[in-house]
Structure formats: structure tokens, C-alpha cells
Amino acid sequence: MSKKVINVVAAAIEKNGLIFCAQRPKGKSLGGFWEFPGGKLEQGESPEEALIREIKEEFDSEIEVISFLNEASYEYDFGIVTMKTYLSKLINGELQLLEHQDSKWLPIEELSELEWAPVDIPAVKCLQKK
């Protein structure tokens, strides 16, 4: 039986040379892992629209999507997640944690010190190559 493919988008949000990292809540799928915030694409939405909506919903903040960073897929036990990550910047709000348990602003060279969700790791590596 083929696993379902889940299309998601994520934002590598940059501010003053630092990148925003969010920690998934314990008790949820991939709890405790770090990720670039984002979520699932809704029917008829562009990746950029989905990202702006998700950041508004999860952090009560507004971002501007700057450029496409990478696309990666990872097969989890619940399905295959295909994630497009975009470089973004904060334009309004303070990134309040409405769904995550912790967050950090880190310089790019320190991103690899966190325990990232597997589908996020290629985006971390792309950022570190820039």
C-alpha cells in the first residue's frame, strides 16, 4: 500500500542575520524536534499564500516570502512529507508561540546544533552553503 504524500511549506525566517527555529510540542507527531515553521497547503493555495497564512495562524505574525530555498521529501511512518522551504522575513508581529513549545533565533552556523525533524535537515544544509 502506498503511503499518502503530504505537501507542506516552511519558512526560514531571517532577522538581523539570525534564523527562527521552532520546537514541536511534546506529545504531538515529531514532538521535541525543531523545524522551520509552516504547514500544509490548502486546496487552490500557492505555496507562498499557504506560508503567509500558516505563520499568521501559528505565530500571529506576518512574513514576506523572499525566495525559494529547497524542496525535500522524507518518509515518516504516517506518510511521505514533501516540503518546500522559502527564505522569508518578518514584517509584522513578534512570532508568538501559539502551537510550539519553544523557539530560538540562531546564526546560520549554529543551526546544526539543534535536533531537526528529518525533512527540515536538507534546508538547514542549504542555508549553511549560502
Question: Tens-digit pLDDT profile for the chain (130 aa)?
Answer: 678 999 999 999 999 899 999 999 888 888 999 999 999 999 899 999 999 999 998 888 999 999 999 999 999 988 999 999 999 999 876 877 777 799 999 999 999 999 999 999 999 999 998 6
Assign residue 27 the CATH number of its domain.
Answer: 3.90.79.10
The parent domain of residue 40 ranges over 5-129
C-beta of residue 36 within 8 angstroms of C-beta of residue 85: yes
Secondary element (H or E) of residue 59: helix 47-59
Q: Supply φ then ψ for residue 9, to 5 degrees.
A: -125, 155
Output the pTM of the full model: 0.90
Neighbours of 89 (CB within 10 A): 13
Per the structure, the count of domains in the chain is 1
Q: Supply φ then ψ for residue 47, to 5 degrees.
A: -55, -40
